[in-house]
Amino acid sequence: MKLDTKAMRHLAAEDWRVLTAVEIGSKNHELVPTPLIESIAKLRGGSSRVHKSISALAKVGLIARLKEAKYDGYRLTYGGLDYLALHTYASRKELYSVGNRIGVGKESDILVVADDSGTQRVLKIHRLGRISFRTVKANRDYLRRRQGGSWMYLSRLAAEKEYAFMRALRDEGFPVPQPIAQSRHTVLMHLVEAFPLRHISVVPDPAALYGELISMILRLARHGLIHGDFNEFNILIKAERMKEEPSSEKGKEVETAEEKGKEVETAEGKLVITPILIDFPQMVSMDHQNAEMYFDRDVNCVKRFFESRFHFVSTQPGPFFKDAKKTVGRDGAKRLDAAVEASGFSKKALKDLEAAIREQQEARGEHADSGEELDDKSEDEDQDQDQDQDENSESNEDDGDRDDGEEEVQRLTNQK
């Protein structure tokens, strides 16, 4: 679905309170009863003011009724969740305006946004269930305990996991975008001026770039991680002309996280080629039961792409999982898989998210190959998802969710 922010400017403080109330009620209800919305929102105008806000929110598609419901109530739509996330960023002064959509992924939308100073940033909106919502309804053990807002719950897990891994990887000097904040099913990050590898037809030195990507896979392994979707869709290439003057020591420290790359001699001078890794919800530990399969898939994705696009075939076999496994934690490398788990992202949440991603890959016929863009059909599928969303009333108190909705109500109450 396309994010349309036009209605945001017309929402009053009472409307935001009602929208947040629906979100809170969704944790325990398939359809949030209207009296419960009134109770949570606690508007001064009473039920009449709540009904006025409900009408306004439903009109712009932020909440919706279910057909043939047994009682009067509303559910939160993905559009409503989008608005709540944007509202949170705006209240923190982290986001001021929303620009164009620059990417449509298998389970996400990518938009350019800006803060109040005009600095451009990137907002990633996770939308699990976009492609295979109808086909993944069966055998969803990971949702049976928490089906209220099921796909929204999983999208939120994806955003939390991605943000946690981005922070951990960035702190260890990996070339990843700098994360800024996370709210609900979204991640806000710095904008990287780079192009997806899939859009690049020629590179000055394919062997050097290939070697750097394989080295990145092995470096991730030393830190206990496998990307799980390491391909031309999730690798950005940043190319910069080398500066004449050497950088200061402080500058060099900053560059290690994102700027450091391979120098290539060209007719115009030295060119620095830096691969930037993105997309982390499917990342797994080297101790995962299917770790070897994921590791081999990442390696083979790089090999296949370089052979087909750049006609480059490495003369060296491997790398192989059994050898990479021996390097985990070597030379004092921090186990980032353990660090992210210790940060509060529970094993249960990891299993829920992994099961959802795996079934979505199977539903779209994704086996050894990965990395496939969506076409225009995704917008229709998004609409189908909002119309047919299957939710139940049982909640899971141990899912570790951060309760943005309750914080939002408290914040609005303080402003009242």
- The b/e string for 128-155 (b: 16+ C-beta within 10 A; e otherwise) is bbbbbbeebeeebebbeebbbbbbbbbb
Q: Which residues lie closer than 8 Å to 215 by C-beta, 6 or more apart?
A: none
Residues 240-243: contacts with CB under 8 Å, at least 24 apart: 240/271, 240/272, 240/274, 241/268, 241/269, 241/270, 241/271, 241/272, 242/269, 242/270, 242/271, 242/272
Q: What angle do CA 344, 357, 305 make, to 5 degrees?
A: 115
Would residue 111 be called left, alpha or beta, if left means φ above 0 and alpha means ψ between -120 and 50 degrees? beta
| DSSP state letters, 193-250 | --EEGGG----S-HHHHHHHHHHHHHHHHHTTEE-S--STTSEEEEEEEPPSSPPPHH
Classify residue 322 by burial, with Cβ atoms within 10 Å: 0-12, 13-18, 19+.
exposed
Amino acid present at 162: E
Decide if 299 contacts 319 (C-beta within 8 A): yes
Q: Where are the alpha helices (DSSP H) in 321-376?
A: 321-325, 336-342, 347-363
Q: Is 398 a catalytic residue?
A: no
Distance CA 372, CA 231 (A): 10
| Nearest CA-CA partner of 186 in 274, 82, 289, 259 | 82
Q: Could you say which of 229, 337, 401, 404 is catalytic?
A: 229
Tokens of 206: 């394919």
- Coil/strand/helix, residue 262: strand
Q: What residues are labeled active site?
A: 229
